Amino acid sequence: MKRLLLPKNKFALVAVNVAFIVIWEESTGLIIEKMWDTIDELGFFNQDSFPILVIEILFLVLPILSFTYWIWWGKKIYDKKIK
């Protein structure tokens, strides 16, 4: 499979990173809204419960942090040739 070709320019990398964050935040908002509807129907948790808050934060933050790390530092691992 072909690797994702990212630009070498730092300003372009920042633009890609910001675009991903904006798109991910918007899509996460839609997914979490659907999740709230399902939770309200089930009646197990209310929206202020701690486990739901933790899941919501992890679902929003972890992909952003991992993608940002991969863009700036992670791809250098794949550039090394194995002997």
Nearest to 67 by CA among 8, 11, 29, 25: 25
Give the whole-number percent of the chain exceeding pLDDT 90: 7
* Percentage of residues of the chain with pLDDT beyond 70: 72
Q: Of 59, 65, 77, whose CA–CA distance to 20 is shortest?
A: 65
Residue 13 pLDDT? 86
According to the model, what pLDDT value does residue 22 have? 92
For the stretch 41-67, pLDDT in tens is 777 666 566 777 787 788 888 888 888
Mean pLDDT of the chain: 77
- Can you give the pLDDT at residue 3? 63
Query: Amino acid letter at 7?
Result: P
